[in-house]
Amino acid sequence: NAGVTQTPKFQVLKTGQSMTLQCAQDMNHEYMSWYRQDPGMGLRLIHYSVGAGITDQGEVPNGYNVSRSTTEDFPLRLLSAAPSQTSVYFCASSYQWTGVYNEQFFGPGTRLTVL
Amino acid sequence: AQKITQTQPGMFVQEKEAVTLDCTYDTSDPSYGLFWYKQPSSGEMIFLIYQGSYDQQNATEGRYSLNFQKARKSANLVISASQLGDSAMYFCAMREGSTGGFKTIFGAGTRLFVKA
């Protein structure tokens, strides 16, 4: 199993550009989520999904869109990049969305810089 | 409101000594889970240990143990016999039950430095 994969690993954008961060998992996990990590702020939840076709907002959803057309894939779209979106982005998945014991498996992260 | 608080931005410990990393949480959901993750300088997130709100005993995983004090809403991570490879960022996280929509939220983290 590859686990959770993310592409690209690094990306530089100009303000106003759009792009999609890719996330895929091969563990048949129901639950997938996107976090951003900024210095001194831990990981903040952007969007999450409890299954194909079902998504919801997290703590910091503005400026981002997601969709979940398959169980495996959960792309994150930046609509119009801003310097405030410079961050490290992590995708994570867990087996189920119900039940509090569900360890999250993380991807390697995408380091995004917006100029 | 901050739901996960890690008050120690940085900690130093001597190799082979034990260290406690603090974590307090806030929830009104009776069902929740508490997690600790390690993030080394390479950047990946590594799951360390889990404690459920209904668990009677403190969780242990090798050199890691979780000091769970439910009334105080604290879930401190104890690392015994520290090793140089334990130098990393450590995050406390909580997943609430149905009240919180089963979202997992993280604290700001504690950076641990292990001295030789």
A23-68 pLDDT per residue, tens? 999 999 999 999 999 987 789 999 999 899 999 999 999 999 999 9
Q: pLDDT at position A103, please?
A: 84
| Cα-Cα end-to-end distance for chain A | 36
For chain B, say whether A5 makes contact (Cβ under 8 Å).
no
Best of B103, B110, B111 to disrupt the A interface by mutation (most A CBs within 10 Å)? B103
In this prediction, residue A100 carries a pLDDT of 64
**Residue A78 pLDDT:** 96
Amino acid code (one letter) for A21: L
Three-state secondary structure readout of B68-86: EECCCCEEEEEECCCCHHH
Q: By the CB < 8 Å criterion, does A45 face chain B? A: yes
> Which pLDDT value is given to residue A40?
77
Q: Residue B91 has what pLDDT? A: 97
pLDDT of residue B22: 98
pLDDT tens profile A63-110: 999 999 999 999 999 999 999 999 999 999 998 777 667 788 999 999
* Predicted local confidence at residue B1, as pLDDT: 55
Question: Please, which pLDDT band fits residue A2 given cuts at 50, 70 and 90?
Answer: confident
Query: What's the Cα-to-Cα distance from B45 to each of A75, A84, B14, B99, rounded to whole Å?
Result: 20, 23, 24, 26
Q: How far is CA A5 from CA A23, A79, B96, in A?
A: 6, 22, 26
User: In angstroms, what separates the C-alpha of B17 from chain A's closest C-alpha?
Assistant: 26
SS3 content of chain A, % helix, strand, coil (to 5): 5, 50, 50
- Is the CB of residue B19 less than 8 Å from the CB of residue B112? yes
A105/chain B closest Cα distance in angstroms: 8
- Judged by CB atoms closer than 8 Å, whether chains meet at A56 and B101 is answered as yes
Please tell me the distance from the alpha carbon of residue B29 to that of residue B54, in angstroms, as a whole number. 12
- Residue B62, CB-side half-sphere exposure with 13 Å CA sphere: 6
Going residue by residue through chain B (116 aa), what tens digit of pLDDT does each one get? 569 999 999 999 999 999 999 999 999 888 899 999 999 999 999 999 999 999 989 999 999 999 999 999 999 999 999 999 999 999 999 998 777 777 888 999 999 999 99
Q: Measured between alpha carbons, how far is B97 from B33 in angstroms, rounded to an integer? A: 8
Structure tokens at B73: 């809403």
Contacts of A23 (CB under 8 A, 6+ apart): A4, A5, A6, A32, A34, A73, A74, A75, A76, A91, A107
Q: Which of A5, A56, A87, A100 would best serve as a mutation to test chain B binding (most B beta carbons within 10 A)?
A: A100
Q: C-alpha distances in angstroms, B42 versus A70, A109, B83?
A: 30, 10, 17
